């Protein structure tokens, strides 16, 4: 099981936002298990984990969320799909009872696991917003 998942566009030849492990698209049981686990925490992931949905969607502007033993970092990314609302998310699980991974540690791990994506990103990923839990629509979806 990957310790860092990537949600987004894998390459320009396969548009659409999906969940990936370090070798690309996850298949069958692995994908179902990962999706089930992550959608339990964040039911909506496509764009909702990024900073200020509906704003200028500055590429690389990132928002961090920590919930259910995981850290999610969502950011605007049009390097794979140029259309509006294109985005990406890295999900990283905390280990044991230690603190959840910080922005810096998720980025370090993501760069090591997904070097080809970081070659494609023609922008820096910078922390723009920190989820405050309570009024975050991604972390607190309306029933
Ligand atoms: Zn949140």
Give tens-digit pLDDT for 99-121: 899 999 999 999 999 999 999 99
Q: What is the pTM of this model?
A: 0.93
Q: How far is the CA of 69 from the centre of ligand 1 (A)?
A: 13
Residues whose CB falls within 8 Å of the CB of residue 94, separated by 6 or more in sequence, listed in order? 69, 70, 71, 100, 101
Q: How far is the CA of 46 from the centre of ligand 1 (A)?
A: 13
Going by C-alpha positions, the residue among 95, 103, 99, 101 that lies closest to residue 75 is 103
- Which phi and psi (to 5°) does residue 3 adopt? -95, -15
pLDDT at residue number 1? 62
Q: Give Cα separations from 113 to 41, 46, 56, 65, 92 (angstroms).
A: 23, 21, 29, 20, 11
Q: How far is the CA of 132 from the centre of ligand 1 (A)?
A: 7
Do 8 and 22 touch, CB atoms closer than 8 A? no
Q: How far is the CA of 133 from the centre of ligand 1 (A)?
A: 5
């Amino acid at each position: 099981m990957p310790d860092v998942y990537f949600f987004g566009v894998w390459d320009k030849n396969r548009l659409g936002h999906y969940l990936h492990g370090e070798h690309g698209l996850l298949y069958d049981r692995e994908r179902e298990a990962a999706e089930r686990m992550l959608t339990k925490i964040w039911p909506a992931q496509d764009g909702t984990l990024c900073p200020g949905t509906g704003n200028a969607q500055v590429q690389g502007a990132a928002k961090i969320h920590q919930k259910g033993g995981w850290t999610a970092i969502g950011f605007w990314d049009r390097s794979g799909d140029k259309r509006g609302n294109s985005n990406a998310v890295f999900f990283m699980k905390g280990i044991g009872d230690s603190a959840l991974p910080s922005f810096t540690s998720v980025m370090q791990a993501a760069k090591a696991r997904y070097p080809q994506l970081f070659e494609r990103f023609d922008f820096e990923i910078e922390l723009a917003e920190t989820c405050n839990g309570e009024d975050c629509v991604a972390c607190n979806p309306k029933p």
